[in-house]
Structure 1
């Protein structure tokens, strides 16, 4: 249980792929212009990382060391193809928006890095949890960055939710600014870089604060006794 807690903390916070490892920056910066696109790509990546970790851990003792990377890539590519076909069939409008970034999950550094660094060295359950948590950690970054950019750029949240949630998504859209409002910088790539930089800075500040609290708790200051 303790090991699973460490895996979860690493994926969601301590080794977050979007804020700490800085992997997969191309889709993070390109797709995070609104919440719906970010959430859809994040969930697709999470599904692939979890399933690929499970598959790689299952065959790790059967694959010769010399050809492990091509085998891992083939496993990941097969899973991405299934996700790509499923999204094309059931979420076609969203699939058209995400475009090439769904097939490019195959070459996403997060997926391959976890397969090589963790799944190839650990059991099936641990590898599956690691892939799930790393994917959810990336999804969280994508959603927060997408929400920040969408809110500043268009004054909305969850615009286009019907592409992901169907007809019920129309009721989820929040219009928080006039319909003609637009702040173009937030919607363009420079806005993505600035937003991601702010998120990284915020995480670093929280980590530094936590370290100060831990250091203060470990080394309490003893006040001198008051003289009578």
Structure 2
């Protein structure tokens, strides 16, 4: 039961994008296409999960005074794995993602979960939390991507959806479009939560 609570917490109650509003740099920058959102979400989920497991296993060994540098080294290791994997097997996607894959090293979500959760619990709970946070980030960033791609280009996952007569809303694939979509979605999520509480 506790594992399920840890898992579901990141998907809804403490969703990193829509609730805690952390790690949004990549959520705003790479979300011009749905494929980008899924790829970024999967990359972050992998790094977050592997880092949380290793940090949880080493929590009693890492000295308190150097814990943050140690966490960064662990995160950097798994980020390098993702970076090289994408560069080798998905070069076109790697080109689109640019600097945002290496920047997972300093993503607030990864470091926050390492400090606040993985360093305090066993590896099983750390895994459940990391998977929940990663999947919460993934669905949030993918939803933002889908809306921006649909309204900004008339396509979804690269396939035309809106038809010949559709006039793309160019603002949606520009930086202000990311803020508009995210603001609306945060507002909707707050409304849903308020209704549930009532």
Q: Is the 8 A contact 2:86 2:94 kept in 1?
A: yes
**1:38 to partner: Cα distance:** 0.8
Choose 1 or 2 for highest CA Rg.
1
Counting only pairs closer than 5 Å after superposition, residues 1-228 of structure 1 correspond to structure 2 as: 2-159=1-158, 173-178=159-164, 181-212=167-198
Partners of 1:34 and 1:150 within 8 A in 2 = yes
Unaligned 5+ residue runs, structure 1? 160-172, 213-228
How far apart are residue 180 of structure 1 and its match?
7.6
Aligned residues: 198
Secondary structure at the residue paired with 2:119? Answer: helix
User: C-alpha separation between the residues in 1 aligned to 2:119 and 2:165?
Assistant: 50
Distance (whole Å) between structure 1 residues aligned to residue 43 and residue 164 of structure 2: 32
TM-score (norm 2): 0.97
TM-score (norm 1): 0.85
**Which structure is higher in RCO with an 8 Å CA cutoff and minimum separation 6?**
2
Structural RMSD (CA):
1.1
Native 8 Å contact 1:54 1:124 kept in 2: yes
**Alignment deviations for residues 1-50 of structure 1 (CA, whole Å, 9 cap, x no partner):** x1112112211000000001111111000011110011100110000001
Asked if the contact 1:156/1:177 (under 8 Å) is kept, the reply is: no
Which runs of 4 or more aligned residues in structure 1 lie more than 2 Å from their structure 2 counterparts after TM superposition?
173-182
Rounded to whole Å, the distance in 2 between the matches of 1:178 and 1:4 is 48
Deviations 1:115-165, CA, capped at 9 Å, x for gaps: 000000000011111111101101101111100011111110001xxxxxx
Aligned residue for 2:114, secondary structure, equals helix
Give the distance between the partners of 2:161 and 2:173, measured in 1 at CA. 16
Q: Answer yes or no: is the 8 Å Cα contact 1:154–1:177 preserved in 2.
A: no
